[in-house]
Amino acid sequence: MSLPLVEPDLELLREGRVLIDVRAPVEFAQGALPGAVNLPLMDDEERHLVGIEYKERGQDAAIALGERLVRGGLKASRVAAWRRLVEAHPDAIIYCFRGGLRSRTAQQWLVDAGITRPRIRGGWKAMRQALCARIDGAAEQPQLVVGGLTGCAKTSLILALEEGLDLEGCARHKGSAFGRHPLPAPSQIDFEHAMGLRLLDLPGPLVLEDESRRIGTANIPLTFWEGMVQAPRIRIEMPLDWRLEQIRKDYIDDLWEVHRRQFGDWLGWALMRKQLAAALGRLRKRLGQARLARLQRLQALAFREHERGNTSAHEAWLAPLLTEYYDPLYRHQLEKHPERHFLHVGDWESCLEVAREWSAQARKQGRPVPQPA
């Protein structure tokens, strides 16, 4: 019986199809396709042993070892897991690394159990190549970069636009010492896949935040980054009190909500305090010992007030953090690139309007977007 195949079409991801990733857990952790569920054919140790057998004795011996390792009740439990997922998602598709032996084996075992599902031709590798090609093609789309001091709500502006590409969201990091997310950061591969997936819905102009190439643990792909560097810019300028309110929302209120939702009140509170204290400590070299000690005292006092319901107390340490650290750092970056000019400098609302006007004009010009082969 010929087992069905589907082509490595990015529409599968855009449609939100559930994918059965039969690779080993260690491979899945390094990077998976969006929408994938890891239900491996072999666990890490089994895969390791089969790999050694393949190198030493060839493919047939490796297949025979795999059949000996995964049989009986173990085989039945893995087929049952695939079956449960397919029953919940009848349009699920199977893939392995290259769409070869492992996904074919999973297909056949499912067929033997009365279920026929296709596998992706070329597997994970072919789909990844298509996603990376989409990112490279996006480097040639019109881009507008939004800059501004910390607390100017640049991300909120990006999210308010249909053309917005939230790179920090893809990286699960706000791009600063205080920007870590309570959940683990994605792998570099998963960051790129999240970015590529978002770009499937953005064939025209792009509006994105001014970023260094590295966001948390992720690096923006070089070709795309080079396009960002050359893109036109706008800059948001807002007064300190407005920015303080925004930064308190980002660094305190929103962070607390995530911690509480993930870990509960007691543990979430302890972990949030630990995270913010550690973030401040990482600025020791730039702040100097005396200034750091002052901010640490203010932060500790703010947490005591926070426990009494006064979250605005955090402004006592957030204000000098902005004026003595983040603002000089951003202005230094501006001075390093005097050749960069801004299409517009103004408040948040005016920058949003300019971004919308720029996007409309870019769409009218209709520059074609290179598509992946």
φ/ψ (deg, to 5) at 12: -60, -40
pTM equals: 0.90
Separation between Cα atoms, residue 44 and residue 165, nearest integer Å? 36
The topology (CATH level 3) of 5-121 is Oxidized Rhodanese; domain 1 (3.40.250)
Mean pLDDT across 110-139: 96
* Per-chain mean pLDDT for the chain: 91
Residue 367: its pLDDT value, please?
Answer: 54
Whether 370 shows a pLDDT value over 60: the answer reads no
User: What is the Cβ-side half-sphere exposure of residue 361, based on CA atoms within 13 angstroms?
Assistant: 9
Per-residue pLDDT band for 98 (boundaries 50, 70, 90) equals very high
d(CA 102, CA 197): 25
Q: So what's the pLDDT on residue 133?
A: 96
CA–CA separation, 126 vs 21, rounded Å? 14
Q: What is the mean pLDDT of residues 202-229?
A: 93
Question: Residue ranges of the domains in the chain?
Answer: 5-121, 132-373
pLDDT at residue 371, as a whole number: 43
Pick the more confident residue, 130 or 184.
130
pLDDT of residue 184: 82
Model pLDDT, residue 63: 86
Residues carrying an active site annotation: 96
CA pair distance 286, 124, nearest whole angstrom:
43
Q: What is the pLDDT of residue 369?
A: 43
Residue whose pair of structure tokens reads 């426990």 in the numeric block: 307
At 175 the pLDDT is 67
Q: How far is CA 286 from CA 281, 322, 331, 354, in A?
A: 10, 13, 15, 35
Under the banding of pLDDT at 50, 70 and 90, the label for residue 2 is: confident
pLDDT band at 373 (very low <50, low <70, confident <90, very high): very low
pLDDT in tens, 50-87: 889 988 998 889 889 888 898 999 999 999 999 999 99
Mean pLDDT along residues 129-134: 96
pLDDT attached to residue 1: 64
pLDDT in tens, 220-230: 999 999 999 99
- How much is the average pLDDT of 10-31? 95
More confident residue, 236 or 181: 236
SS (HEC) of 170-223: HHCECCCCCCECCCCCCCHHHHHHHHHHHHCCCCCCEEEECCCCEECCEECCHH
What pLDDT is attached to residue 58?
87
pLDDT above 90 for 176: no
pLDDT digit string, tens, across residues 305-336: 999 989 999 999 999 999 999 999 888 888 87
Is 142:159 a contact under the CB 8 Å cutoff?
Answer: no
Better-predicted residue by pLDDT, 24 or 172 = 24
